[in-house]
Amino acid sequence: MITEEHFQELDKLLSKCQEFEHLLNDWENGFASEWTDKLATYGTQVRVSDKQQQVFDRISEKLSKHGVL
């Protein structure tokens, strides 16, 4: 399970992924789409593995470099 704060961070990031999908590759867009659905379905009951968090961090970095975050 994730905290409410982590949920809000992921929700914001995934929203930006949808808005700026042209900045991400196909795999990243698929990952973001899958997680958008997971958060909508399970809320804070989801579990994020270390590897999944690393992907979120890389996507966040990528969007930050483009001034999105």
Convert the pLDDT of each residue in 2-28 to its tens digit: 999 999 999 999 999 999 999 999 999
* C-alpha closest to that of 56 among 39, 33, 32: 32
Average pLDDT, the chain: 97
Report DSSP state, residue 24: S
How many helical (H) and strand (E) elements, i.e. helices and strands, does the chain have? Answer: 3, 0
Range of the domain at 50: 4-65
- pTM strictly above 0.75: yes
Distance CA 7, CA 13 (A): 10
**What mean pLDDT do residues 47-53 have?**
98
Please, which pLDDT band fits residue 47 given cuts at 50, 70 and 90?
Answer: very high
Residue type at position 37: D
Domains of the chain: total? 1
